[in-house]
Amino acid sequence: MPEPEDSATLYGQLLESARRLSFDLRDCEAGTGTDTDRHGMTPEWSPLYGTPMWIRMSEPERRRLTRREVSHFLGVAIWLEVALQIVLLRRNHSVDPTRADVKFLFNECADENMHSLMFVGAIEQLGERYSPLDRVMLLMGWVFRTFAWNEVAYGIVLAGEEVFDVMQRDWSIDERVAPAVRRSSYVHVVEESRHMSFARQKMRDHLREVSRVRRYVSAVLIAVGAHIIAKGLVNKAIYRDLGLDWRAAKLDIDRNEHHRMMFRRATAPLVEFLDREGLLNGVARTIYRKSNLL
């Protein structure tokens, strides 16, 4: 499908911005030993923040918790970055590689690979490890990689990017957070802003010609994807690893109004965009409410 002229211009501008403002991420990935004295992320982003379980913890225990949690969050980010590449490269195999949007996609994939390496470096510098994802995420990852079509693929990718954007803006400037996470968050926020513009424009381009039924179905599938990402950020294995009672932790997280408020904040820009593009129908709204994103 040829791109409309205004879209081609935007893709060209994004590519130009990538040329002007990109980081040498190998510097972030190289590592400078481990840092186990600080928080892994802004503590207010911990799903347990402010709960009875949090209050009972000592300060070092809270720092240990946020380091473990952020390592999992970054693992989810890597999972999304790899899935994005599989879906989008597959869809663009054999198309004209000189098209501005395809050139930008190549650039985006290069960014994402370096982000994944950078996040692995941050996990290692926190003295942490990767937590395997639960079965639902693995299954949904396969469904997404195999079946997601244009606006659904970009919509789910955008949902993940928007949530991380809001969280990482806080982490990047928080002195309580380990430098490896601060630095990688800063780089990610800068480079992802182009990806989000690209995803939004791609969605607009694809939605221009779709039927109302397809728009409805796509909106619901994007909501399901966002729901799975949001739920997947809380992984019982990490709480058990820390010797915490998972059932008590889950109860505290489910009742935590602060956690709900933070996630609503994280998805506010996404919800605004989806609403503007007619992707917030009744079923989608119910799903976003169920996952505390609305």
CB nearer Fe ion, residue 182 or residue 195: 195
Q: Report the distance separating Cα 254 and Cα 250, nearest Å.
A: 6
Q: Considering only 92-100, 111-119, 220-228, 277-285, which stretch makes contact with Fe ion by CB under 5 A?
A: 111-119
Query: Binding to Fe ion (CB under 5 A): which residues in 58-77?
Result: none
Q: Considering only 49-57, 194-202, 222-230, 255-263, which stretch makes contact with Fe ion by CB under 5 A?
A: 194-202
Q: Considering only 133-141, 191-199, 233-241, 249-257, which stretch makes contact with Fe ion by CB under 5 A?
A: 191-199
Residue 222 CB, nearest approach to Fe ion (Å): 16
Number of residues interacting with Fe ion: please give it, by CB under 5 A. Answer: 5
Burial of 24 (0-12, 13-18, 19+ CB in 10 A): exposed
Residue 272 CB, nearest approach to Fe ion (Å): 19
CB nearer Fe ion, residue 35 or residue 108: 108
Closest of 31, 28, 80, 4 to residue 233, by C-alpha = 80
Q: Considering only 115-123, 138-146, 205-213, 217-225, which stretch makes contact with Fe ion by CB under 5 A?
A: 115-123
Q: Considering only 63-71, 145-153, 189-197, 228-236, which stretch makes contact with Fe ion by CB under 5 A?
A: 189-197
User: Quick check: 195 binds Fe ion (CB under 5 A)?
Assistant: yes
Residue 193 CB, nearest approach to Fe ion (Å): 10
Question: Under 8 Å CB-to-CB from 180, ≥6 apart: which residues?
Answer: 28, 31, 32, 35, 121, 122, 125, 126
Residue 72 CB, nearest approach to Fe ion (Å): 16
- Number of neighbours of residue 122 by Cβ within 10 angstroms: 26
The single residue among 39, 67, 115, 202 that binds Fe ion, judged by CB under 5 A, is 115
Residue 195 CB, nearest approach to Fe ion (Å): 3
Take residue 4 and report the two structure tokens written for it. 């409309």
Residue 22 CB, nearest approach to Fe ion (Å): 12
Report the SS3 class of residue 39: strand
C-alpha to C-alpha distances, 149 to 93, 142, 166, 276, nearest whole angstrom: 14, 13, 26, 20
Helix axes 135-147, 212-232, angle to 10 degrees: 150
CB nearer Fe ion, residue 81 or residue 174: 81
Residue 252 CB, nearest approach to Fe ion (Å): 31
Q: How far is CA 117 from the centre of its chain?
A: 15
Report the SS3 class of residue 32: coil
Q: Report the distance separating Cα 127 and Cα 33, nearest Å.
A: 9
CB nearer Fe ion, residue 23 or residue 54: 23
Q: Which residues bind Fe ion (CB under 5 A)?
A: 81, 112, 115, 192, 195
